[in-house]
Structure 1
Amino acid sequence: MQYLALVYYSEAKMAELSTDDWDALNRECIACGENLSAAGQMLDGRPLMPVETATTVRVRDGKVTVTDGPFAETREQLAGFYLLEARDLNQAIQLAGKIPPARYGSVEVRPVRELKSDGNDHYR
C-alpha cells in the first residue's frame, strides 16, 4: 500500500540553523531517500520551495481565484513529501520516523487513495 509522508517544519526555526547544520540535514535527507529507495520503500519524494513561493487556487461558483501564499496560516509549513510503499500503517509510521526533519517538526502519514477508472470511490 502507498502512503504519503508530508514533512512539516517551521521555516523560521530552520532559518536559524547554521549553514553547516542545514547542509548536514540535507545530506541526511538525501541518504534517507536513497536508503528507502534501495529498499523499495520510497517511490518518490521532493523538497518544496519556501512557503512564500506558494500559490493557492480556489474555484467558487465557476470562478477561479488565486491567492499568493499557502491556504492557511500555520506554525509549521509543508516542506516536502515522501511517497512510501509499506505493508501497513505501522510500517509507514516506522519509515516516517526515519525522515530526518521529523526531529524539527512533524511528518503526517496518510494512505494514498486509489480512484477507479469508473470514478467510483469507496472512501466517501
Structure 2
Amino acid sequence: MKLYALNMIQPVGHPPPPEVLGPVMAELAEIRRDLERQESWVFGRGLHGPEASTMVRLRDDEVIATDGPWTEGKEHIGGVTIIKVEDLDAALKVAARFVRVTGLPMEVRPFQGEV
C-alpha cells in the first residue's frame, strides 16, 4: 500500500455561501465515510487561506519568519487528504470523486516509500 496526498486547489477568496457549501460538505463527508470503511482514510482537513501562512527561511545564518504565502497566486491548496491505497490508479479514482463533488482541481502526489 502507498500513501497519497490529495491537495484540493481552490481559488483565493471567500467560500461559497452556506446554501451552496452545505450540500458539498455533506457529499465530502460521505466520501470520507466510504474511505474509512475501506480502511483507506488516513487524515484530511481544510486549511486556512494563504493569508494565514507564515514562511520560515534561512537568510545567511539567521532564521527569519515572515507573514504570507510562499508565492502569490489566484489559487492555493485549500485542503489536504491523506489516503492509503494500492496504487496511483486507486488514488486517482478517489480524487475523481472529490473533483466531481467540488468542481475543484486536485493534485495527487505520492509519498515516498511503501506503508
- TM-score with structure 1 setting the length: 0.79
Q: Which runs of 5+ in 1 are unaligned?
A: 115-124
Alpha-carbon separation, structure 1, partners of 2:35 and 2:61: 42
8 Å CA contact 1:29–1:100 kept in 2: the answer is no
Q: Aligned pair 1:45/2:44, yes or no?
A: yes
State the identity as a percent. 25
Report the Cα distance in structure 1 between the residues aligned to 2:26 and 2:63, rounded to whole angstroms. 40
Other-structure match for 2:10: 9
Letter in 1 for 2:60: D
Distance (whole Å) between structure 1 residues aligned to residue 38 and residue 83 of structure 2: 11
The Cα RMSD (Å) is 2.1
Show structure 1 runs of 4+ deviating over 3 A.
100-104
Alignment of 1:1-124 (within 5 A): 1-12=2-13, 15=15, 17-100=16-99, 103-114=102-113
Unaligned runs of at least 5 residues, structure 2: none
Separation in structure 1 between the aligned mates of residue 56 and residue 37 of structure 2, nearest angstrom: 36
Shift of 1:57: 1.3
> Partners of 1:21 and 1:100 in 2: how far apart?
15
Secondary structure (helix, strand or coil) at the match of 1:56 reads strand
> Higher strand fraction: Structure 1 or Structure 2?
2
Report the TM-score when normalising by structure 2. 0.84
Aligned length: 113
Instruction: Summarize the Cα distance change of 1:58–1:102 in structure 2 as closer, same or farther, 3 Å threshold.
Output: farther
Alpha-carbon separation, structure 2, partners of 1:104 and 1:68? 30
Helix, strand or coil for the counterpart of 1:113? Answer: coil
